[in-house]
Structure 1
Amino acid sequence: MGRLAELMKGYHGIEVKEDRERLLMDDLHAIMDVNKTMNLTRILSEEGGIVLHLEDSLTGLPYIGDAPEGLYADLGTGGGFPGIPLCIMTGRKTLLVDSVKKKVAALDGVAGNLGLGDLIDVYAGRIEDLAKERKGQFSVLTARALSSLPSLMELASPLLKKGGRLICYKAQPTGEEIENALGIQEIVGLRLECDQTFRLSDDSTRRIFVFEKTGAPRIKLPRRIGLAQKDPLRPRS
């Protein structure tokens, strides 16, 4: 059992088989190699990558397992975390979404070299444009350190099919952020299903919010590009 498998089993009760661990480590090493010429991650050490990329990514595994079968997309994927690790562990058809074309092209190459080309596709563009092109096609979405909860809920809603799940990885969300998120659930057609706080093996705190798509939003989504971040929805008084 390697270092990653030990951490996942000991801290999170998640089993990582040897072949999967090997592929996950190959992914980390490939991303670190690309990072020498392109800014994909600020984490430069293998140990840091194991904890803050792989361990952190895999904490969402139980929640993606609870989602309906079907397409999975990682929004604002950056260096491919948690998208590629969750694809490796679940075997789901996966779309890595990022607006930076060079990053997306690099991830496409990494996926191909890992033998995941049949499972992983990439999208270089804005989430709002993807929502117009592939409305209601996704069963599960993840977003890790991307934006505020209300913004993520608004961006995710038109992409999700009914019953689909949005899994948000957060570090230290404010009380106001959470209150606003809970207050717009009916507006965007989502409902909070899970809110769990836990610690990684380096003792840093993480919090995962899982929202389920319950029905059509009460407003037309997506709104104009950028509005979800610049002017996020707020609870109606």
Structure 2
Amino acid sequence: MAQELMGQYLDLILEANKTTNLTRITSRDEALVLHIEDSLVGLEEVSEAPDGLYGDLGSGGGFPGVPLALATGRETVLVDSVKKKMAIVQQAVNQLGLGRQITTCSDRIEDLALDRPGSFSVLTARALSRLVALLELSSPLLVKGGRLVCYKAQLSDEEMREARAVEDLLGMRLVSQRETTLSDGETRRTIVVFEKVGKAKLKLPRRIGAAQKTPLKPRS
């Protein structure tokens, strides 16, 4: 049933994509790999997070959020500041009768953290930003013990070092890192998981855009 709904959702998004830019992928076969299969790469890590609310940051066309919501049954919030995208995604979700389980939010992540601090048990972020920024944006949203599951196409040692240098400052801790290749034989994914272990040692969220424009550095 969940797999069938994923396919139906994908078809609705590909149809809407003909008039609104939701994804660069237009082929259904390619989308099955790069949207559905790719979304489910992190299913194991999302399932290991504590029970509770799931949020997909920078959700775009609803990936990986919708497939993961269907696979886990979690109450889900898809977060993306592009209102037009979120309106189309919500329409597709409602059309499939999933509106009670899956809702959309077109606030900026920093504003969501002010409205719903400590509300999420698990967050995902696929190709959204550098790890150091994702840790900062996620920390105020997560409950203690909550998990951030990051999908990365390429993860450099430098990017990981940046994140590890500020994890303590943000009350976060690296839990796991896993690499895999999709069934096309060429698309590589690294799944990196951080856990919220305590309160951040600075006031969060900072102003909108600060996490990306002026990334945190360790305090000397």
**In the alignment, structure 1 residue 75 sits paired with structure 2 residue 57:** yes
Counterpart among 176, 185, 195 of residue 212 in structure 1: 195
User: Counterpart of 2:87?
Assistant: 105
Q: Displacement of 1:93 after TM fit?
A: 0.4
Instruction: Calculate percent identity across the aligned residue pairs.
Output: 56
The list of structure 1 runs, each at least 4 consecutive aligned residues, that deviate by more than 3 angstroms after superposition, is: none
Question: How far apart are the structure 1 equivalents of 2:18 and 2:105?
Answer: 23
Q: Could you tell me the TM-score, scaled by structure 1's length?
A: 0.91
Question: Residue in 2 aligned with 1:45?
Answer: 27
RMSD of aligned residue pairs (Cα, Å): 0.8
Q: Which runs of 5+ in 2 are unaligned?
A: none
Note the 1:89-128 alignment, pairs <5 A: 89-128=71-110
Which residue in the other structure is 2:219 paired with? Answer: 236
Once residues 36 and 56 of structure 1 are traced to their aligned partners in structure 2, the CA distance between those partners, rounded to angstroms, is 22
Aligned residue pair count: 219
Q: Give distance in 1, aligned partners of 2:108 and 2:2.
A: 31
Superposition map of 1:159-198 within 5 A:
159-198=141-180
1:134 and 2:134 aligned:
no
* TM-score normalised by the chain length of structure 2: 0.98
Secondary structure at 1:207's aligned position in 2? Answer: strand
Q: In the alignment, what sits opposite 1:9? A: none
**How much does 1:236 deviate?**
3.3
Correspondence 1:221 to 2:211: no
Q: CA deviation at 1:234?
A: 1.9
CA deviation vs aligned residue, 1:171-196 (integer Å, no higher than 9, x gap): 00222111011111101110010100
- What is the rounded CA distance, in whole Å, between the counterparts of 1:185 and 1:124 in structure 2? 27
Q: CA deviation at 1:125?
A: 1.4
- Match for residue 127 of structure 2 among 131, 145, 153: 145
Helix, strand or coil for the counterpart of 1:187?
coil
Higher helix share: 1
Whole-angstrom distance in 2 between the partners of 1:146 and 1:211: 16
The Cα of 1:235 is off from its aligned counterpart by 2.7
Q: Distance in 1 between matches of 2:194 and 2:149?
A: 7
Deviation of residue 21 (structure 1)? 1.5
Determine the C-alpha separation between the residues in 2 that align with 1:98 and 1:170.
Answer: 18
Looking at structure 2, the residues matched to 193 and 56 of structure 1 have their Cα atoms a distance apart, in angstroms, of 21
Matched, 1:27 2:27: no
By how many angstroms is 1:115 displaced? Answer: 1.2
